Structure 1
Amino acid sequence: MINAGVSRVVVALADPDPKVAGQGIDRLRAAGIDVEVGCRADDVARQLAPYLHHRSTGRPFVVLKLASTLDGRTAGPDGTSQWITGDAARTDAHRLRADSDAILVGAGTVRADNPALTVRLPESERSTDDTEPLRVVLGAAPADAALQPCLEVSGDLGVILDDLGARGVLQLMVEGGATVAKAFHEAGLVDRYVLYMAPAIFGGDDALSLFSGKGAPTLGDLWRGRIVDVARVGDDLRLEIEA
């Protein structure tokens, strides 16, 4: 741009990567080019959230994917859960998988559902450059599990995120059950919640909930997030929530 004689450059965000540290902007300004920083910064920051988060923390951006009925249930009293949401919502969730570098589930989910955790998209959305996300199991996966080969991890979730970040994972999609969801939530490690909600109701107390264990004891102890996007996906709703 300097050699081309550009007089003005508009930049949404400065790259937080310490290897860069705004050097490009400084070079442009030193060459007498007018550089405006911050144009539509919020919009761009949302699009680049995984990259920005990884560069500033060294950890992947954690997306917790959830699916439930209107009354917050994920499975019936008998454990059946396939499928609460419709085809369009499930396809949309596969797009979320495709955007992620790794997918994490708990060993309990592997034993109960034996998921392959592959990306399955319509032919029109596939590319020859597509690669499958790294499959991560919190705990030990059976040797004959459909998601093999996979990376088995255990211990402190923060340490696990540090390791995944060092492996170059920018976005981690957590698809585990209620126990894994609660563990990441209570540790404050979820950066974005993506909830697919079906217009259906189990009713009663026996169906399984989004999060396991005891919840907040009083209204004042509720965790409250901020809805950043709402969309209709087929017959279901997709809510994106951040802290």
Structure 2
Amino acid sequence: MLDEEARKINEYFFFKHADNRPFITIKIASSKDGKSHDAKGSTTWITSEDSRNDVQLLRAEHDVILTGGNTVRNDNPRMNARVNFPVNQPKKILLSSQKIWDMNFHFFKNADFEITNETDLSKIMRSSFLKESNSIMVEAGPKLVNAFLKNRLCDRLVIYKSQVEIGNDGVNWFENDNVLDKYGFKIKSNYTIGPDIKMVLENG
């Protein structure tokens, strides 16, 4: 029992040493009808404050946060762990072919970060920047999220689903309705956070 609890507490550590790459969590915020955002690129919050507070705890669990250039440009996110207890802030990786960035973007402030134009996601997972990292959390748009899924580089998928519907003008998170079944994801937990639903799925 104690051994099982120890492995659960240190699951990222054990995974890294068994699989030679960090444990990868993908987090998305989805509308009720499975959209990421509307086609106009609106940055209005989809999910509730309760869900956004829960995301802070999720970030605090991970060693690294990874995102793409469009997310930084369009949303100007901080992507740090804003929690009420001491925490080592996650390092950050920005995947982008853009070489020069304005360091006034929130993403870069007070952060240990790396910008890479590497397109081979498996190589990124084995990069020297991640050598000491046991876990990585991907917070990105549909294109990058689906690239991770297609490359089988997702161990846990966390979906915060709101009651808001965006409609036909919205951008789908996934290519089709059964994509998660296709990649072998199973629901591990499913519960409400405020008005939203938090669903945790794991691969296999």
Following TM superposition, the consecutive aligned residue runs of length 4 or more in structure 1 with deviations greater than 6 angstroms are none
RMSD over aligned Cα atoms: 2.3
Task: Provide closer, same or farther for how the CA distance between residues 48 and 228 of structure 1 changes in structure 2, counting only shifts above 3 A.
Answer: farther
- 2:171 maps to which of 193, 205, 208: 208
| Aligned AA (1:87) | E
The more displaced of 69-78 and 59-68 is 69-78
Q: Which of 181, 186, 196 in structure 2 is aligned with 1:226?
A: 186
Shift of the alpha carbon at 1:166?
4.8
Percentage identity across paired residues of the two chains: 27
Does structure 1 retain, via aligned residues, the 8 Å contact 2:43–2:74?
Answer: no
Q: Assess if the C-alpha contact under 8 Å between 2:30 and 2:46 holds in 1.
A: yes
Residue matched to 1:157: 121
Conservation of the 8 A alpha-carbon contact between 2:43 and 2:75: no
Aligned to 2:95: 138
Q: For structure 2, which runs of at least 5 residues remain unmatched after alignment?
A: none
CA gap of 1:228–1:165, structure 2 versus 1, over 3 A, is farther
Deviation string, structure 1 residues 154-178 (Cα, Å, up to 9, x no partner): 2311111011675211110000111
How many equivalent pairs are there? 195
Looking at structure 1, the residues matched to 192 and 164 of structure 2 have their Cα atoms a distance apart, in angstroms, of 15
Q: Which ranges in structure 1 are unaligned for 5 or more consecutive residues?
A: 1-9, 13-40
Q: Structure 2-normalised TM-score?
A: 0.86
Alignment of 1:7-46 (within 5 A): 11-12=2-3, 41=4, 45-46=7-8
Distance (Å, rounded) in 1 between the aligned partners of 2:122 and 2:61 = 22
For CA contacts below 8 A with separation 6 or more, give which structure has more relative contact order.
Answer: 2
Conserved? CA contact 2:63–2:136, under 8 Å: yes
1:111–1:142 contact (8 Å) kept in structure 2: no
Q: Distance in 2 between matches of 1:232 and 1:216?
A: 24
How far apart in 2 are the matches of 1:44 and 1:241? 21
Query: For the pair shown, which has the larger CA radius of gyration, 1 or 2?
Result: 1
Give the structure 1 partner of residue 196 of structure 2: 236
- Asked if 2 retains the 8 angstrom alpha-carbon contact of 1:60 and 1:164, the reply is no
